[in-house]
Structure formats: C-alpha cells, structure tokens
Chains A and B, each alone.
Chain A
Amino acid sequence: MPFNVANATVHDTLKLLDSRQCTSESVVRAVLDAIRRQDGEIGAYLSVDEEDGLRQAKAADKARSEGGKGRLLGIPIAVKDVLNVRGQPCTCASLILQGYVSPYDATAVARLRAEGAILLGRVNMDEFAMGSTTENSAFKITRNPWNRDCVPGGSSGGSAASVAGGEALAALGSDTGGSIRQPAAFCGCVGLKPSYGRISRYGLTAFASSLDQIGPLTHDVRDAALLLGVMAGVDERDSSSVDLPVPDYERSLTNDLRGMKLGLPREYFVAGMDRDVEKAIRAAVEQCRALGAEIIEVSLPHTEYAVATYYVVATAEASANLARFDGVRYGFRAGGAEDPIDMYSKTRAQGFGAEVKRRIILGTYVLSSGYYDAYYLSAQKVRTLIRNDFEAAFKQCDALLAPVSPTAAYRIGEKAGNPLQMYLGDILTVTANLAGICGLSVPCGLTGGGLPVGLQILGPAFKEENILRVGHAYEQRRGAFGLAAK
C-alpha cells in the first residue's frame, strides 16, 4: 500500500508499521518522492542521502520482522543542519563548514537512533541559527509552503517547511530565542522548545550556550510528546543537562483542561500586534476556557526589555562560541595567509555571512573592556528580573497563553535590510530562553491572508507535561489543520 506522507503523524505511521500495513521502506520512498516533487520550489533541504535513507529503512524493516522493538522503529526524521549525525554533513548553513562530515552523533540523535529512527536529510536554517527567516542561509532560501512568496520563519525554517509542506513526518530544530516556535507558527506545525537542561546539547553546534535547546517540529502535539520523551534526560557529555526523571509525556495528554489555571500575560497583547493574529489567539483562549481551564490575567513587567537583554547575552556567548571557526580543525580555510592570525581573520571574513559577522562584532563589543558593565552585566541583571517575572506568574497559574509572534509570516526580503526591526519581532519568544522555561507553538487558525497563526503555551521549567496537555486538548477541539486539511 503506498504511503501518503502529507500530514502523516509519527504515531499514526507507527501503527501502520506495527500492523504491517506499510513498510519503513515505503515510508522513506514516499518522503523521498515528496522531496523530489516539491523541494525544488520549497527549498527545505540542504542535502538528502537517498541511498543511506533506504539502507536505514531496510534495516528497520528487517529488525521489525525479527521482532525488534523501538519507540520510533522505521520512522524517518529530518535534522536541522546544526546537529551532528555521524557520517552526514553539518554545515550550519555556513560556507565556513562546507565539506565537514560529522564524526559522531549528537546525544539527541543517538537517542533517536537507539529507538530505531531513520535520520533522513539535512534541513536548511539561518547560518549558525542566527536569524528569524532562514534568509541568512549561505546556500539557499526556504519558502513558506502556505505562500511561497513568504518566509518560513527561522532559524529552523527548513525543519518547519519540511514538516508543514509534507516533506517530512517530523524534524529536529534548535531554539535559542524562538527558532523552533516561530517557524512552527509561520508554517502551521507544532514546535516544542523544552526547558533548558531537558535535552542534552552535546553535538548541537553552539550558538548561545546558556539559551540553546534542541526540540522537535511535528504535525501534532502527541508527536512532540513522543519525540521529547525519547530525547530527554541527563547526559554525562553535557554537564548542563539535568538529572530529573523523564515523565511519560503521552500519558499527560487529556481531552479537557479541567482544573488547570492558564495565565494571559498582559504585556504580550500589545499595540503593534497584527489584528488577525490577536483575533486567532483570543479565539484559542476561549476554546481553552470551554475545555474547562480557568483563565486569569498575569503580568510579566520586564517584557519590554527582553529583546535588548537577549541580543546582548546571545551575541556575547556567540562571539565566544564561534571563535572555534578559525580554519584550523575543520571546514574552510582561506588561502594566501602569512601567519596564523592572518589566516584566522581571512578565513572568518570569507567564511561567515553578514548576520553572523554583525553578531560576532556586537558580542565582542559588549564583552570588551569598558563596556562589559554597561551592557553585558546589565543584561545579566535584567535577565534575573525577567526570570523573576515568570516565577511570580507561575505561582498563579499552570501555563501561559500568548501569541508566538506579533505577526504571521511576511514576504521574503521585507525585513532583510533592517536587523533591529527583525530582532524586535522576537519579543514574545526570547523570554522563555532567558528564563529557561519550556514553550510550545500550536497552530490556531489563519489570517485573512491565509497564513497560519501560532498559539504559544509557556510552562514552568521541567513542566513540559503542562504545556503538552494544554496544546493537545486545544488541538483536539480545534480539529484538523494543515495544508493537506485545507
């Protein structure tokens, strides 16, 4: 039986595989066909190793026929080009890593593999995850499957477009300031940013180490719960991963929200928000109320300082993390250098794109002598205030409801010339990273222009079960969503 990849969830596909209604090989072939058919237009993938994918699929089918188990046995998953998968490229969409082949698996990837998943394809992103549109990829732009003149969001734009466009069952992304949630919202799929420390960052090319988290982009909340459960847990290779038990997240999924208290942060519904976005979010809030949740208003008073805080902290950390790209150990090296310093400076000038250079310079500046206190130390203190805001809010409620982004997807090129304007669009997502809490983006309708809107559900650190429960119950009430359901 041919497998229809559009809107196929991981959990439904597992049922088909378990009941022998399809094989992993037929699933992978369907994904490869979809990529061949559509990706010339969408541009979600940077590279796909078809032969390796089919080899992994055949191995999974063989394992299954021999009684092999695995929570993801035979399921293909696309991987953002920032995560190491042994034997695959990992360019971070940068010229400076062109030609690099990973000699090891990221821990999150190794855990997927251990449960039988197939790692199929490298998906596009903003260079080193720096951007909100995927326009900063050194290799190509990715288009929004709902409207090909629009950006897919970023930085995990390839992950979101591959899932929403029916070219992947699920994808991995990374989220430093909204890079999973915002593209999920723009493309109309589900995106989960786990709490800081929930999933090991080992093998995730570092952008800002105190903010980065790996997470899944999926068709529905159940899939996000399933993938989180596989990837979560302490890892001796990441000392910031946290040794807390990993709950059975799927068991927290219910069809109602009775007994839950949900907060609306006053500061997240502000002037400047697109009216269609606000309408869709307000309607989703009413659905949650109808599901039995009590809705209260809360305040996160330091929200207006979040973007400034984030761009100081994130660029400072990035300037240190990206020092490793110097042309010595991997990737590109510029020719004609007279000495090592000259070689570093030329390699980095030719290897990095404009946004990465801009952030390295900004990050170096805020850490430099004479400016450290005024910028970096101040930002760290405001980070404390932002974290305290959430702590106070979560004393009153189990989760927060808000938009993911003040607008839906916009046209390609529209904001490319004005970095500050682009950064200000991140105001509703960067706070979760600064505070280390978890966040989920769930599609909640369309704008008048036919573009998806994302409902953001924020939960306390290590309370992923709260936001997954809210997202799942809402999703059940909302009904089918996605391009294939149109």
Chain B
Amino acid sequence: MAESGSSGKDQIDVRYVARLARLNVTEEEVRTFQRQLDHILSHVRQLNSLNLSGIEPTSHARLLTNVFRKDVAKPGLDREEVLRNAPSTANEQFAVPKIVE
C-alpha cells in the first residue's frame, strides 16, 4: 500500500475531513483529534502488513440477497406525530434556512 510509509500524506487533515463530515471543530479539538487519530491510525496500519492479494472483501456478516415484497401501499407514520419532533416546521413540512436566493 502506498500510504503505509511515514510521509506527510499519512497524517490525517482533521480540519478538512471534519468539513467533509459537516462538523465544525475548534482549534483545540483539531489538536486533540490530530494526536489521538494519528495514534489510532498507526495501529490500524498493521493491516497492511498482511498479504491480502486475492482475498475477497466482506461487507456484511452474511451474504446479502435482494429481498422483495409485494408493492402494496400501507399506512406510514402519523405526519403530525413525526413533525412534533422537528425543530422547525411550516405547512406540514420540515423547515430549513433558505437554500437558494
């Protein structure tokens, strides 16, 4: 694996990754997470010491197959009850800050 060396590419860019995850982080969090995640990733990199050529990846504990059911309409959750959990609603819908001008 190309990433298994000790180049700068190995260091996780916490601020950038947090932005991908839509998560604001403070200066202090960046410092703490940087140290902790580098530590964790150095342990994780032991995976690359194994010869994994020809091994099939497992994405699920069991082989998944498509499950089909009859296409019949059924009552869903009660709209009023669901909207009661929303921080902001308008016209029986979830309301969010303006997206387009």
**Pairing of A with B:** yes
- Cβ B21 vs Cβ A328 within 8 A: no
State the interface size on chain B (CB cutoff 8 A).
Answer: 57
Contacts of B3 in A (CB 8 A): 370-371, 374
Docked-complex contact A381 and B56, CB < 8 angstroms: yes
Contact A309:B47 (CB < 8 A) given known A101-B84, A348-B23: yes
Distance (whole angstroms) from the CB of B90 to the closest CB of chain A:
13
Bound CA span A240–B62, Å: 8
Contact between chains at A331 and B58 (CB < 8 Å): no
B residues in contact with A342, CB < 8 Å: 97
Instruction: Determine the chain A residues whose CB is within 8 A of the CB of B64 once the complex forms.
Output: 239-240
Identify which of B12, B57, B61 contacts A436 (C-beta below 8 A): B61
Contact B85 A196 (CB under 8 A): no
Binary interface profile of B, 18-42, with partner A (CB < 8 Å = 1, else 0)?
A: 1111111100010011001101110
**Which chain B residues border A239 with CB–CB below 8 Å?**
64, 67
Asked if A409 lies at the interface with its beta carbon under 8 angstroms from chain B, I say no
- Which residues of A are found within 8 Å of B52, using beta-carbon distances? 378, 381-382
Interface centre among B19, B60, B61, B81, by most chain A C-beta atoms within 10 angstroms, is B61
User: Is B73 interfacial (CB-CB < 8 Å)?
Assistant: no
Contacts of B39 in A (CB 8 A): 419-420
- Chain A 425-446: CB-based contact to B (< 8 A → 1; otherwise 0): 0000000011110000000000
Residues of A within 8 A of B6 (CB): none
Contact B1 A345 (CB under 8 A): no
Contact in complex: A311, B82 (CB < 8 Å) = no
Interface-forming stretch among A117-125, A134-142, A251-259, A356-364?
A356-364
Contact call B59/A380, Cβ cutoff below 8 A: yes
Contact of A327 among B25, B62, B78, B87 (CB under 8 A): B87
C-beta contact mask, A88-99 vs B, less than 8 Å → 1, else 0?
Answer: 000000000001
Within 67-101 of B, Cβ neighbours of A (below 8 Å) are at 67, 69, 77-78, 81-82, 84-88, 94, 96-99
When the two chains form their complex, are residues B44 and A381 in contact, meaning their CB atoms are under 8 A apart? Answer: no
CB of B44 within 8 A of CB of A328, answer no
Closest to B9 in A: A370
A337 to B22, CA, bound (A): 13
Q: Would you give the shortest CB distance from B46 to chain A, in whole angstroms?
A: 6
CB <8 Å contact, B22 and A345:
yes
How far is the CB of B21 from the nearest CB of chain A, in Å?
4
Beyond A339-B99, A344-B22, whether A380 also contacts B44 by CB under 8 A is: no
* Interface flag for A70 (CB, 8 Å): no
Q: Are A385 and B23 in contact (CB under 8 A)?
A: no
Q: How far is the CA of A302 from the CA of B4 in the complex (A)?
A: 20
Within 8 Å by CB of A358, from B4, B37, B56, lies B37
Q: How many residues of A contact B (CB 8 A)?
A: 77
Q: How far is the CA of A383 from the CA of B50 in the complex (A)?
A: 12
Contacts of A362 on B, CB cut-off 8 Å? 37, 40-41
User: B1 and A373: CB pair below 8 A?
Assistant: yes
Query: With A211-B61, A420-B40 in contact, do A357 and B25 touch (Cβ < 8 Å)?
Result: yes
- Roughly how many angstroms separate A210 CA and B86 CA in the complex, as a whole number? 28
User: A307 at interface (Cβ–Cβ under 8 A)?
Assistant: yes
By beta carbon, the residue of chain A nearest B86 is: A329
Closest A residue by C-beta to B66: A239
Cβ contacts under 8 Å, A308 to chain B: 43-47
- For B94, what are the chain A residues with a Cβ–Cβ distance below 8 Å? 328-329
Contact of A361 among B17, B59, B78, B97 (CB under 8 A): B17
Among candidates A338, A360, A366, A368, residue contacting B23 with C-beta atoms closer than 8 Å: A360
Of all chain A residues, the one with the shortest Cβ separation from B96 is A340
Smallest CB gap from A211: residue in B: B61
Residues of A participating in the B interface, judged by any CB pair closer than 8 Å? 99-101, 103-104, 196-197, 210-211, 236, 239-240, 242, 304-305, 307-309, 311-312, 319, 323, 326-333, 337-346, 348-349, 352, 354, 357-358, 360-362, 364-366, 368, 370-371, 373-375, 377-385, 387, 419-420, 423-424, 433-436, 461
Cβ contacts A to B, 8 pairs, < 8 Å: A210-B61, A348-B24, A357-B23, A361-B18, A364-B18, A368-B20, A370-B3, A370-B9
**Can you add 8 more A-B contacts, CB < 8 Å, to A103-B78, A328-B94?**
A311-B40, A311-B44, A312-B44, A362-B37, A378-B47, A381-B55, A385-B50, A424-B43
